Structure 1
Amino acid sequence: MSSAVQRIGTGRRGPFVVTAVALLVLLFDGNLPTPLYGVYRERFGFSGTELTLIFAVYMAVLVPSLMVFGQLSDQVGRSRVLIGGLSLGAVGLVLLAAAQGTAWLFAGRIAAGIALGATAGTAAAALVEFEPDDDRGKAALATVLAQSGGSAAGPLVAGALAEWAPYPRQLPYAVGLVLTVLTAIAVSRLPREPVSGRWRPQRPSVPPEIRADFARASLSGATVWAVGGLFLSVVPSYTAQLLHNHNLALLGAVPAMMLIAACAVQAVSVRMQLPPRKAQAAGLGSLVVGLAALVGAFPAKSLLLVVAAALFAGAGLGLTYFGSQAEVNQLAPEARRGEVTAAFLTCVYLGVAATAISTGLLSDAYSLPTAIAVVCGVAGATALVAVGWQLKRD
């Protein structure tokens, strides 16, 4: 896209805000099922592996969607791709609300994954272009706040509605559907960028001159979101086993607490003007503390340790992901911003999917607490490697 197109919206906050809201709403929609997985498991009778596969299929389709639509939005414009993603997200919500079996859940999650894949890289690139002051740091903050905020609000709202409101398996998705339709209408009113050429599918790539720094940032981002995926998929069930309590509002609050902590530290890190590399190193250290608390919570039967795990892991996710996203924004050439951002998010979501599937397989073979202990050990070791890599480059 030309530089003129890239600065559409300069001096106007409307397109910037609408784009951030679109990303937030898609993450909100995608995480509505989090506190409901246990309900679905009891109703439809699937195994722990099937539960995590339902979560992981979302990531499995999200990754190729990122690759395809990140490049597509560079050619046909951001708003066109955003509208398509929101429309497909609405279809996914309808399928989940109407679910009569496991196949419905898979179909709904596939639609949601493609929708987020179309939206995530596109929105992140658009936020850089629409940022009124041409501040890539603020664009990175908006991106990570929208992602963390939407991911936090989804399970919190769904858990509260499912526990205390009628139609627990339908009402959360109805709320998401209303928000999605309203957001799609707002996006449709954004200024349309001129089409810069015919889209030609090609293998996504990262420019050679930035690959080393890109790989370091991607490892950091993938590690923290792998733990974020753990909280969004199986930690609610882990908490239910630990406390012998199946209150859906409580189970939704645990991952929400983790992501609220992420939002809070992201805002603070901007005020402190923390450099991206230092933010990543500090965040990864906090993540390791959170993982240790999560593993220790089950033998101690301690809700306090679960809360500590959520807060430290959330702080780690917030700092590290903000730092890695800001660094990728700085590294990406303007003409390939959508493609590079999509490549970064592909690495992030591959980490999430691998963690979810591994946890499901281990939980069926052994037990959920054992599975979480093993996965946390691997994630903690990876985080320490990533810290060393971050410090070495300084």
Structure 2
Amino acid sequence: MIIDRTSGTRRLGYPAAAGVFAVGMAGTTLPTSLYGLYRAQLGFSELIVTVVFAVYALGVITVLLLAGNVSDEVGRRPVLLCALALSAASALCFVFEGGLPMLLLGRVLSGFAAGLFSGAATAAVLELARPGQEAHAGFAATAANMGGLGCGPLLSGLLAQYAPWPLVLPFLVHLLLVAGAAGVTWFLPETVGTPHRLHRLRPQGLRLPPEVRGVFTPAAVAAFAGFALLGLFTAVAPSFVADTLGDHNLAVAGLIVFTVFLGSTAGQSLTERIGVRRALPGGCLVLVLGLLLVATSLAVTSLPLLVIGAVCGGVGQGLAFRAGLTAVGRAAPPAHRGGTISAFFLVAYLGISLPVVGVGALTLVLGLRGAGLTFSACLIVLAVAVGLYVLRHPPADEN
């Protein structure tokens, strides 16, 4: 039940919550275009880049396990404000960066923020929708997530390439955005009817309400495969562009990462028309096509093919991701929606973290191109398997 404090807060509605969600998620990918600069400044390897990225994902997973359902108890607004505070603290770590430990701390804090945003912000956007707006709100939630993730590398790449203080200015800009988002969050209506104080945190595990268990497995496995592709682009695509394809423009690197998330948003926009039942296996098929294009681009050293593969893979990921999130959100009872959505994101973030560290390790033996080709081949096999699985166990479309 939505508590309508004032007519002004009511008018904010789900678009305002989606804007807050996008700002928060943009901060989590802001360092992506800057990893090459950090490598040159601090002298670490591509493996360390992927470890720094995985530390972020570890922070996300930790929060989802410990506090995935906390917004169901204390309310959406307090959790969103806490997530914004963690996002600001992460940005400050990068502003005053003094070496690898501060980078790691900043990424952990960013992961904590993303973990809180994933469940609480998604639930808030969905619950702020008025009758008849449910489909639009569902797209707004997933588009804010992916759009925010895509805008982070684009913003930092443009500022680092064409503005002064490349390792500081992107985070100062994000601090201003976080301050504005906090102001908006303060005036959002609370959507939890009877919030209460949380007495203690305890591991939540992956306990799911019975109503959602049947649909959760195919949706979460498809999300795992799609997020693995996102992890590849977010963690190491700038290095691929610079070292393998020979383009050292940071704005170009940020734009390429942005295209995969833009493709994801486009895929999400098509899900409602296609239907959840067809979007899950269809998304896996398109994801396989995108991976084939990415692998070909690395084999023949083609930047245009990499961009096309990024868009195509992003569309496939978006189709499968929104279909899965929609199916899980429909099946989850309101009292457990935040926790269920957090469990869904937990599986997805396992996909975005573990395989990417493997890529980093492979670069030490095979180099960037060989590691990228090996990763693409493994992910193609996984996506095909997932596609066959969801063809056999599809979630039902809403009647």
TM-score of the superposed pair, with normalisation by structure 2: 0.93
Could you tell me how far 1:197 is from its partner in structure 2?
Answer: 5.9
Could you tell me how far 1:13 is from its partner in structure 2?
Answer: 4.8
Cα distance change on mapping 1:9 and 1:138 into 2, 3 Å: farther
Cα distance change on mapping 1:342 and 1:267 into 2, 3 Å: same
Aligned residue runs from structure 1 range 65-214, under 5 A: 65-133=63-131, 135-192=133-190, 193=192, 194-196=194-196, 198-199=198-199, 201-204=202-205, 205-214=207-216
Report the Cα distance in structure 2 between the residues aligned to 1:100 and 1:202, rounded to whole angstroms.
Answer: 33
In structure 1, the partner of 2:346 is 346
1:241-294 CA-partner distances (Å, limit 9, x unpaired): 232121101111111011112212322333xx2211211211111111111111
In structure 2, the partner of 1:295 is 295
In structure 1, the partner of 2:397 is none
Structure 2 residue identity aligned to 1:170:
V
Report the Cα distance in structure 2 between the residues aligned to 1:123 and 1:331, rounded to whole angstroms.
Answer: 18
> Which shifted more, 363-372 or 32-41?
363-372
In structure 1, the partner of 2:43 is 45
Structure 1 residue identity aligned to 2:209:
P
* Residue ranges of structure 2 left out of the alignment (5+ in a row): 395-399
Contact between 1:276 and 1:323, CA under 8 Å: does it hold in 2? Answer: yes
* Residue ranges of structure 1 left out of the alignment (5+ in a row): none
Report the Cα distance in structure 1 between the residues aligned to 2:155 and 2:20, rounded to whole angstroms.
Answer: 18
1:287-315 CA-partner distances (Å, limit 9, x unpaired): 11111111111221211211121111111
Report the Cα distance in structure 2 between the residues aligned to 1:168 and 1:313, rounded to whole angstroms.
Answer: 30
In structure 2, the partner of 1:332 is 332
Cα distance change on mapping 1:245 and 1:355 into 2, 3 Å: same
Report the Cα distance in structure 2 between the residues aligned to 1:182 and 1:345, rounded to whole angstroms.
Answer: 26
In structure 2, the partner of 1:248 is 250
Structure 2 residue identity aligned to 1:381:
V
Could you tell me how far 1:209 is from its partner in structure 2?
Answer: 4.4
> Which shifted more, 155-164 or 60-69?
60-69
Report the Cα distance in structure 2 between the residues aligned to 1:88 and 1:283, rounded to whole angstroms.
Answer: 33
> Which shifted more, 92-101 or 66-75?
66-75
In structure 2, the partner of 1:54 is 52
1:335-394 CA-partner distances (Å, limit 9, x unpaired): 110110000000000111112111111112321111111111121111111111111125
Structure 2 residue identity aligned to 1:291:
L
Are 2:220 and 1:218 aligned? yes
Structure 2 residue identity aligned to 1:80:
P
Classify the secondary structure of the residue corresponding to 2:204.
coil
In structure 2, the partner of 1:230 is 232
Cα distance change on mapping 1:78 and 1:6 into 2, 3 Å: same
Equivalent pairs, count: 389
The percentage of aligned residue pairs carrying the same residue is: 31
Cα distance change on mapping 1:123 and 1:16 into 2, 3 Å: same
Cα distance change on mapping 1:67 and 1:133 into 2, 3 Å: farther
Structure 1 residue identity aligned to 2:359:
T
Could you tell me how far 1:134 is from its partner in structure 2?
Answer: 5.9
Report the Cα distance in structure 1 between the residues aligned to 2:6 and 2:309, rounded to whole angstroms.
Answer: 41
> Which shifted more, 318-327 or 198-207?
198-207
Report the Cα distance in structure 1 between the residues aligned to 2:5 and 2:386, rounded to whole angstroms.
Answer: 37
Report the Cα distance in structure 1 between the residues aligned to 2:60 and 2:126, rounded to whole angstroms.
Answer: 22
Report the Cα distance in structure 1 between the residues aligned to 2:386 and 2:46, rounded to whole angstroms.
Answer: 30
> Which shifted more, 137-146 or 311-320?
137-146
Could you tell me how far 1:195 is from its partner in structure 2?
Answer: 2.0
Could you tell me how far 1:228 is from its partner in structure 2?
Answer: 0.7
Could you tell me how far 1:47 is from its partner in structure 2?
Answer: 1.4
Contact between 1:75 and 1:199, CA under 8 Å: does it hold in 2? Answer: no
Contact between 1:219 and 1:386, CA under 8 Å: does it hold in 2? Answer: yes
1:3-42 CA-partner distances (Å, limit 9, x unpaired): x358999994513122211210111111111111111011
Contact between 1:229 and 1:352, CA under 8 Å: does it hold in 2? Answer: yes
Report the Cα distance in structure 1 between the residues aligned to 2:57 and 2:11, rounded to whole angstroms.
Answer: 31
In structure 2, the partner of 1:311 is 311
Contact between 1:137 and 1:326, CA under 8 Å: does it hold in 2? Answer: no
Classify the secondary structure of the residue corresponding to 1:19.
helix
Contact between 1:125 and 1:338, CA under 8 Å: does it hold in 2? Answer: yes
Structure 1 residue identity aligned to 2:214:
A
> Which shifted more, 194-203 or 82-91?
194-203
Structure 2 residue identity aligned to 1:221:
A
Report the Cα distance in structure 2 between the residues aligned to 1:186 and 1:301, rounded to whole angstroms.
Answer: 45
